[in-house]
Copies of this chain bind each other. A is one copy, B any other.
Amino acid sequence: MNRQERYEYGMKVLEQVDGEAGQRVVDSLADVSPELGHQVVAWAFGDMYARPELPPRDRQLITLGVLTALGGCEIELEVHINAALNVGLAPSEISEALLHSAVYCGMPRAINATLVAKKVFGGRGLLPITNAG
């Protein structure tokens, strides 16, 4: 695949996973760092995310762990909590994943990520969550 084809392939993967939220982040980079937008699409989604070695649901669990631990990634967590719902994780599973993270990266990071989940769930009419208490 050439550069343009790699981009188009990555965009198909991104659309399936992140939907509009991911597209908005890429669009926001167009006038300041088009190459970063290209790499997010062509490399992160086209080369890496698309690999069949792990299914999307597993990838989102890992991604939630990484983003929660990093901290300061509210924008990206919003994209990936939407993505987590899109690939089949239930809201209660997502909340549990963030709760689980608290053991390893502490309460503040878990609280911050959970408040992003609250925003995403609320926007999709998924609050209050069920089966997680």
Contact = CB atoms under 8 A, between A and B. Distances in A.
Contacts of A64: 62, 65
Nearest to A119: B32
Looking at A30, A69, A128, which has the most chain B CB atoms within 10 Å of its CB?
A: A69
A131 interface: yes
Given A35-B99, A67-B104, A72 B112 contact: yes
A108 interface: yes
10 contacts: A30-B128, A32-B114, A33-B129, A35-B95, A36-B99, A39-B47, A49-B103, A53-B93, A66-B106, A75-B112
A101 B66 contact: yes
Contacts of A91: 32
A34 interface: yes
Contacts of A96: 35, 51, 53-54
Interface string A106-129: 111111101101100100000111
A53 B131 contact: yes
Contact of A76 (B47, B111, B129): B111
A40 interface: yes
